[in-house]
Amino acid sequence: MPTPLYDALKQYAAARPLRFHMPGHKGAFLPAPELAPLAPLDVTEIPPTGNLYEVGEPFDSAQGLWAEVFGFATCQFLTGGSTMGIHTALALCCKPGEKVLLDRNCHRAAFNALALLDLEPVYLERPWLESENLIGPISPDAVEKMLNLHRDLKTIYITSPTYAGVLSDIPQIGRMIHARGGKLFVDGAHGAHLPFLGVDAFQGADAVVVSAHKTLPAMGQSALLFANGFDPAMVRRRASVYGSSSPSYPMMASMDLARQWLLDRGAEAYRQTAAQVARLREDYPSLSRPDLFLDPTRFTLSVQDGPAFTRALEEMNIFPEMEDGGHVVFICTAQDREEDFSQLRAALDQLQDGLGPCPPIPAPPLPERGLSPRAALFGDSIPRPLEDCQGEISAGQIAPYPPGVPVVAPGEVIGKKELSYLRKIGYNMRSEARVILPR
Ligand SMILES: Cc1ncc(COP(=O)(O)O)c(C=O)c1O
């Protein structure tokens, strides 16, 4: 079965070369028995192993096979997570100084990219699902309204799926921006498995980033950027700005292998996971609305007190991905076995008094703007306890993590409603925020 990058690395290792090149372990030694088996495949850019940021083998084939699965013209391996993909995609889609329409649910990496590229954000209102106390799908009507208000908008940035597994109508939003000659970028960090399950999550986008490491059997930080209508040389060039010049070969080989494993038998295993999640959704209060387009493998449980419920689970040696006060999010993949689901069910049964409904959680406010993201992030600032920051302009992000979505982004005013929201969700008000020094 074709795994071009992994095969090239194995072939090089099998030839027992005299390695007078990086990394310093020389393929022979890493000082822990758990790491040592990886050493032979951990190489650098030499003719037999290729160069991630240049045309040629084995990367052309390895990335091409991924592009085929996702139905995109170009795939770029990333070794800095979707974080790197967000930076790369915005640099591809936008010119410095341009406006970008983005959902306010976007990951904190987006706000750093805005500052670095000096982009002008225009935010979509958070589509709050009152009944679920969660961010819902981006409404095409809301997009249309903003495109009409800002005729010069040429880029849209949407997060789909969300952390809770809610997908937006990407083809529809894509058509809207394409009609104006613009581009749609989708942060699909949580959706790398979806195309393998036959879920049409990303068609209609011009660029999509997915974190292989979040939902696939791939190593931490591994991610992929897919693009249509961009010169592949430009995709590589932009990606290289944000990546190490020594990208990790084990990480990239793990993506090569994950794709083939999914095609061979992993997709079927994911379908079984989706069936387990469907049963969990039936049996426990959780996000499962038929009117929503949901990731079939994401289990978003409603609980009365997120931190307390999560602590109780952790005491039982069960560690979910995150909680947001009223929900606990479980990332379920093909590697979760039947007995793992049984153990989870037993724990939920034991904690059933703490299950939903989740308490009403207010929609996060949309703060006022004080400065551009760039002026704020790179401006002079001082640390100050958050509770003393009312009225100040934030130099950084005030972002409960996970999900890492800033309540206040660089350049925004820390107002009364933002402080009250942070208090309500239990944010540590004594933690320090960085605020812009008065001139
Ligand atoms: C929606 C979203 N986008 C991007 C990222 C960043 O991904 P990575 O950790 O792969 O850099 C995350 C991380 O949690 C995320 O939730």
pLDDT in tens, 156-166: 999 999 999 99
* CA of 113 relative to ligand 1 center, distance in Å: 13
Contact 296, 274 (CB under 8 A): yes
* CA of 33 relative to ligand 1 center, distance in Å: 30
Counting from 1 in the atom list of ligand 1, the atom nearest the Cα of 84 is 11
Counting from 1 in the atom list of ligand 1, the atom nearest the Cα of 221 is 10
Residue reference for tokens 């099998």: 14
Quick one: CATH architecture of 4-261?
3-Layer(aba) Sandwich (3.40)
Q: What are phi and psi of 9, to 5 degrees?
A: -70, -40
3-class DSSP state of 230: coil
Ligand 1 binding pocket (C-beta < 6 A) is 81-83, 107, 109, 159, 163, 187, 189-190, 211, 223, 402-404
CA pair distance 227, 365, nearest whole angstrom: 33
Q: What is the pLDDT of residues 53-70, one digit of tens each?
A: 999 999 999 999 999 999
Among 77, 78, 82, residue to substitute to test ligand 1 (most atoms within 8 Å of Cβ) = 82
Structural domain boundaries in the chain: 4-261, 267-354, 373-436
**In terms of Cα–Cα distance, which of 157, 54, 46, 140 is closest to 100?**
157
Q: What is the pLDDT of residue 300?
A: 98
Q: What is the pTM of this model?
A: 0.96
Quick one: average pLDDT of 271-275? 98
* CA of 107 relative to ligand 1 center, distance in Å: 6
Domain 373-436 CATH assignment equals 3.90.100.10: yes
Task: Kindly state the percentage of the chain with pLDDT values over 70.
Answer: 99
Please check the confidence at residue 405 and state whether its pLDDT lies above 90: no
* CA of 56 relative to ligand 1 center, distance in Å: 29
Bond into 410 cis (ω within 30) = no
CATH number of the domain at 267-354, please? 3.90.1150.10
* CA of 158 relative to ligand 1 center, distance in Å: 13
Please check the confidence at residue 439 and state whether its pLDDT lies above 70: no
Q: What is the pLDDT of residues 325-359, one digit of tens each?
A: 899 999 999 999 999 999 999 999 999 999 999 98
